[in-house]
Chains A and B, each alone.
Chain A
Amino acid sequence: MSDERLRLSYDRLLGVRAAMSSNREGCPDVEAMITLIRREGSEDARLDLLDHIMACPFCQAEFALLKTAGTAQPPE
């Protein structure tokens, strides 16, 4: 199966998860995501956090936003 097909299936799977449940009890807070973006904490802890974020459609969207905001440069 091609990488594109795998990505499509995974994307659809997350879409269904988002539509099925909005329960976010197990989700990390924003501060935890920021520490991940700053590469703080142990590698194991960051991998654990990343694993959740990339499997959770809600966290994934927040993380992408935080990452973009974190790397954005102020206007000259």
Chain B
Amino acid sequence: MSRPSDKISPALETMVAKFAERVRYIGVQHGLAGSDVEDLVQEVRLRLWKALESGEKILAAPASYIHRTAVSAALDLLRRRRARRETPARLSRPSGLALLGESASADRLLEELELQEQVGRAVDSLIPARRSVVRMYLTGYTREEIADLLGWSEPKTRNLLYRGLADLREKLTAMGIGPEALG
């Protein structure tokens, strides 16, 4: 019979393989690049191993837990990098599992990241004519530029854009994103 610790490694590999892209995404989102992104993946692996201790717990960890772990680890990596660059003596806050879920900035960044993904999904789900117009508008094009490019009248463009934005807000509301979201 195998000991519990024997099952940790395959469980960790399974979870890391499953969430590696997500963790890299979070790293890039928080300003990490190059080898720091891979360091983040390793840091998350280490934190999962230390915090959950068994293969069963690791495999049962919800995506939101992995997400928070990755955000927290990314922020700690950035702090460590800045501290090294500025004043090594100020390296006072250790990276560690005790920080998981306790950082207000991590919560804020998590909300921001989720908001971006939800905005992306909500735009994707709009009907085609409205979707293209809304994408152009969100990208920074004016109503006049959109009308000109599509050869549409100003009223038609305005109508499609307003309806598209209304649909978008309706979909975001259905996702739990209200008017007050992140200021």
Residues in chain A within 8 A of chain B (CB atoms)? 1, 3, 5-7, 9-14, 16, 19-20, 36-37, 39, 43-44, 46-48, 50-51, 54-55, 60, 67
Whole-angstrom distance between the alpha carbons of A16 and B112 in the complex? 12
Q: List 12 A-B contacts (CB under 8 A).
A: A1-B169, A1-B181, A3-B165, A6-B119, A7-B137, A7-B140, A10-B135, A10-B139, A11-B140, A13-B117, A16-B29, A50-B150
Whole-angstrom distance between the alpha carbons of A13 and B121 in the complex? 11
Decide if B65 is an interface residue (CB 8 Å cutoff).
Answer: no
The segment from B83-91, B99-107, B126-134 found at the interface with A is: B126-134
Decide if B168 is an interface residue (CB 8 Å cutoff).
Answer: yes
Nearest CB of A to B109, in Å: 11
Whole-angstrom distance between the alpha carbons of A19 and B27 in the complex? 10
With a cutoff of 8 Å between Cβ atoms, the chain A residues found around residue B149 in the complex are 36-37, 39, 50, 67
Residues in chain B within 8 A of chain A (CB atoms)? 24-25, 28-29, 33, 112, 115-117, 119-120, 123, 128-129, 131-132, 135-140, 149-151, 165, 168-169, 172, 177-183
Determine whether the beta carbon of B138 is less than 8 Å from that of A7.
yes
Determine whether the beta carbon of A39 is less than 8 Å from that of B169.
no
For A36, A51, A67, which residue has the most chain B Cβ atoms within 10 angstroms? A51
Whole-angstrom distance between the alpha carbons of A3 and B165 in the complex? 9
Nearest CB of B to A34, in Å: 12
Determine whether the beta carbon of A51 is less than 8 Å from that of B132.
yes
Nearest CB of A to B61, in Å: 23
Whole-angstrom distance between the alpha carbons of A60 and B103 in the complex? 36
